[in-house]
Amino acid sequence: MSHKLNIDSLCVREYDDPRTTTPHQLPIYATSSFAFNNMEEGIDIFTGVKSGHVYSRYGNPTIDVVGQKIADLEAYNTGLDAFGYLTSSGMSAISTLVLSILKQGDTVLTQGDLYGGTTELLLKVVANSGIKTIFIDLTDADAIEQLCLTNRSIRMIYLETPANPTMKCIDIRMISRIAKKYGVITCVDNTFCTPLIQQPLSMGVDFVIHSTTKFINGHGNSIAGVIVGHDEKFKKQVWTTLKLLGTNCSPWDAWLINNGLKTLALRMAKHSENAMQVALYLSKHPRIKKVNYNGLEDHAYYEIAKKQMKAFGGMLSFEIIGDIKEVLSILNRLKFCTLAPTLGDVDTLVLHPATSSHLNVDKTLREINGITDGLVRLSVGIENVQDIIADLQQALL
């Protein structure tokens, strides 16, 4: 510039990035927008002639890198070219995907033992767009096929496996086979397993979602979600919905997710190892009616889990003998494990679904699907397992 800037303007002026070498760690791009070199460049990006960042709701380098990293993990060794979009939470990942793919008159086929928030979303929010939900036992192949044959409004099969909090496992390959036969889109919530334990895309699934808040981040300091897909025809559709709903992730949360990903393999191995030992302990305790952990060989879904999971993960649930007052009294005696409405952190977390995550789910629906007043969900951490067991032991006395 020929004109010398005044000092107050100099305060406002953004200096050029002086970096000369590549940063070892992913930078946080804490910017709402991106500057164009000229008007023509802006026009080319907005019209799609060239790619580029314009506004962080549309995309941001930190967010894009981490979304793609998770997509690459989900598609690892599958030969698929997957894409990943980070969102502001696991719930926004679900809502963004459903609203981008489905329209008024369409139906979602799902299970009755979903995470309570997902059930509420489908019945109280998604339903307002004229999208119906049918709950069915997704382990019953004949019933699913009959419904898909007779109800052609079914456009999506949405499943959690293992389910939250019953740990029921659903045969992903079976669901994918039926869905493809009737042109139905499939989506798996893979939060409990992460791509290190289970890769639904390799079993024919169209979309995978995660609450990255949980195991992927692993440290309880970030809330975000991710949508992973591999069919190019849906890529722009999902991005457009995300952009217009404003459900994008923040660069800070994306950066925290990236940090968590670096230890994911180590953590999932330890979570799984500890959970197995805790499940074995609880399965022999006289005050425990039932333990839901797919690693136990006598568990109803052991064979399915073994077929589609590389390990059995860090999540389990168990049913305490006694009324709700006795159950809550036992949980109040815990001293080492933390009572918290989340999962997947490095420390052990305890939740009572009937009074928290599934409080607003119809009690009849809850109990039909095994979510009783005595059921407790346990997210087993990576601490020394003897300390976890000792705490459960003293609380159950």
Residues forming the active site:
57, 115, 189, 214
Among 269, 271, 292, residue whose Cα is nearest residue 282: 292
H-type helices in the chain, by residue range? 7-12, 39-47, 61-74, 90-101, 116-120, 141-150, 172-181, 232-245, 251-261, 264-283, 302-308, 324-332, 363-368, 385-395
Question: In the block, which residue shows the tokens 């502001």?
Answer: 88
State residue 323 phi and psi, 5-degree precision. Answer: -80, 175
Contact between 224 and 96 (Cβ < 8 Å): no
Question: In the block, which residue shows the tokens 């168990």?
Answer: 318
Contact between 376 and 318 (Cβ < 8 Å): yes
Is the bond into 162 cis (omega within 30 degrees of 0)?
Answer: yes
Those residues with Cβ within 8 angstroms of residue 58's Cβ, 6 or more apart along the chain or in another chain: 243, 248
SS3 state at 110: strand
Q: How far apart are alpha carbons 224 and 71 in whole angstroms? A: 15
